[in-house]
Amino acid sequence: MTTVVFVLLPGVHLLDLGGPAQVFFAATDFGQHYRLRYVAEQPQVTTAQGLPVTAETAWPELSAQDLVVVPGWRALTLRGGPGLSQELADRLRAHHAAGGTVASVCAGAEALGAAGLLDGRRCTTHHDLQEELALRHPRAVVVRDVLWTTDNRVVTSAGIASGIDLALHLLAVRHGPALAAQVARQMVVYARRNGDEPQASAMLRYRSHLDDTVHRAQDLIDSRFAEALPLSRLAADRSRLHGPPLTGPPTDPASTDPADRPPLTGPRRPAGTGTGRGKIGGGEAAAQVILAGCS
């Protein structure tokens, strides 16, 4: 069981907190074991959006496999932020020194800087705060225009929604890119990567589409990548590629013939673009194109 501790400071942004928390929570649906904890110096913290949230004031016991995340808060300048107590700074340093990973979202990088964890390391933050972060922590190597950075178990992300990208990256590192792609798909977000990092795994390519049949074909390949999977074998396994129809009258649940599936409602497609019906539907045709590109 991996514990993820979110450190809540006054004025914390909801999405800075909720985005990464949802990523790790969603990972439990795919067999991973994460326990989320929320700590603060007071039992209730009011978010920037006005929603009060409760938190523990006592820290749980942590091991090197656990993760500490500092979400950002609302502040026009880092100097005007809530500040970091000596106890919290000591906690962040101690967890990193024990081999653990410490991460931040948006302005949360200031907390890592105050704890001395940015010294000599690559880091980033919200684009409006990057210059000030560099001035306040001159030993830090502030990287502009990236979604996230990682440097010796210190991981920082840019503004707001990039905390989701950071969490997906951590999942990919710990459990492989296929799991990160599954979680991104469940959350209906694009499995992005930092443009300054090496080329992403082939398992993350061609995942920006919305065709569920293609996603199922890719999931099948990801789960059985060590086997020979010719297109004829994938096509024969239609029960794995087809999900329930989105709209239309009930169908025979025992039938796996695409011709038995009702057409989706909506405007008619132009001629030559495919209708999704017939012996090989539009989704399966798209799957064949993508699978051929991945082979």
pLDDT, tens digit (0-9, with 9 covering 90-100), for 247-292? 444 444 444 444 444 444 444 444 444 433 333 344 444 445 444 5
Could you give the CA distance from residue 17 to residue 21 in angstroms, rounded to a whole number? 6
Mean pLDDT across the stretch 129-143?
96
Question: Residue 286 corresponds to which amino acid?
Answer: A
Could you give the CA distance from residue 240 to residue 261 in angstroms, rounded to a whole number? 15
Could you give the CA distance from residue 59 to residue 91 in angstroms, rounded to a whole number? 9
- Position 253 scores a pLDDT of 40
Question: Residue 207 corresponds to which amino acid?
Answer: R
Q: Kindly list the structural domains of the chain, giving each domain's residue range(s) and its CATH number in brackets, ordered by start.
A: 2-199 (3.40.50.880), 209-294 (no CATH)
Mean pLDDT across the stretch 98-122?
97
pTM beyond 0.75: the answer is no
The alpha-helical segments, DSSP class H, found in the chain are 14-27, 86-97, 109-114, 130-136, 162-175, 177-187, 212-223, 231-236, 238-241, 282-294
Q: Could you give the 3-state DSSP secondary structure of residue 157?
A: strand
Q: pLDDT tens for residues 174-206?
A: 999 889 999 999 999 876 665 454 434 555 666
CB of 157 within 8 A of CB of 105?
Answer: yes
